[in-house]
Amino acid sequence: MRIRNLFKKKSSGEIAKDRLKILLISDRAGCSPEMLEMIKQDIAKVISKYMKIDTNNMEIQISKSTLRGRGKNPSLYADIPILDLHN
């Protein structure tokens, strides 16, 4: 990743795309977009204690999957770009 990409502003199209992703994920998972944003912030807060992460490009996804015949359970997937590890 180039350093100038860290300070680049997102276009209105990129912002709308991100908002639509959050809306679709929250609809599938049955939780509000506000709840997803709170989860994302909490994950970032905890992980950033141990490593430097790119919170602007971090993505979370909640989906429902079948687990050992117990019905559909929500699963959390996170794509978190790591910039540096703390020593």
Per-residue pLDDT of the chain (87 residues; tens, 9 = 90+): 455 555 567 788 887 787 777 777 666 666 777 877 888 888 888 888 889 999 888 888 777 776 666 667 777 788 999 999 875
**Of 22, 82, 15, 14, nearest to 54 (Cα)?**
82
Give the pLDDT score at 70. Answer: 66
Give the pLDDT score at 81. Answer: 92
The DSSP code for 32 is -
Give the pLDDT score at 52. Answer: 92
> What are the tokens at 1?
């990743």
